[in-house]
Amino acid sequence: MTLLCLLLSLSLAADKRPPPPSPKKGNTLKEVIKDSSSASTADRDGGTDQVINGIDLSKLPFTTDSIKQVVLSYQPRVQGCHEEAMAGSKPIGGLVKVAFTITPEGFVKSAKVDKRGSTIKDEHLHDCLVSVVSAMNFPKPPDGKDHPIEFPFNLKPVE
């Protein structure tokens, strides 16, 4: 079976749902990364809870829409990365394309920023987004195979 390659757009400003709570003011990059990585540790260490950020993964099919839904549920953490990158500097906006693989268990492995496909070149922002994506859990693919994903984060500065 050919590899599933998804190209989805995330626009932090275009989401029609009510905005999620903003990350705490004063969070450092290390705190954002720690918060995002600690959320998945229990799940990966044998936890049976399939509810992540209010989404019951056991009830979602493995589709483009469900992958987008999961990524959007991590929007506060992505926003925290973006805000941390902009702290003390001019607004940063553009595209950061993250490539990763969803394992048969629904975990993420080998997340990295596609630097050629990204317009934002901030390494700290890249590291933070990779940490957030690495902490994500997805519905299990029904074919039991790894699925490579490319997800472009379209980050817009808010003044």
Strands (E), 44-93: 51-52, 55-56
Residue 96 lies in a domain: yes
Residue 14 lies in a domain: no
* Domain boundaries, position 147: 29-39+54-155
Asked if 153 and 15 count as a contact pair (C-beta separation under 8 A), the reply is: no
Give helix 75-86 / helix 123-134 axis angle, nearest 10°. 160
Residue 5 lies in a domain: no
pLDDT value for 110: 95
pTM of the model: 0.70
Instruction: Please give the tally of structural domains in the chain.
Output: 1
pLDDT value for 159: 63
Residue 15 lies in a domain: no
Query: What backbone torsions phi and psi does residue 112 show, to the nearest 5 degrees?
Result: -160, 155
Which neighbouring-strand residues pair with 40?
A: none
Given CA atoms 47, 52, 53, 54 in this order, what sign does their dihedral have?
A: negative
Is the pLDDT assigned to residue 100 strictly greater than 70? yes
Cα 141 to Cα 117: distance, rounded to the nearest angstrom: 26
Residues 6+ apart with CB under 8 A from 82: 12, 92, 125, 155
Strands (E), the chain: 10-11, 51-52, 55-56, 94-102, 108-113, 147-155
Residue 24 lies in a domain: no
Q: Label residue 157 by pLDDT band (50, 70, 90).
A: confident
Residue 120 lies in a domain: yes
Residue 112 lies in a domain: yes
In tens, the pLDDT along 43-61 reads 444 433 578 778 888 888 9
Residue 63 lies in a domain: yes
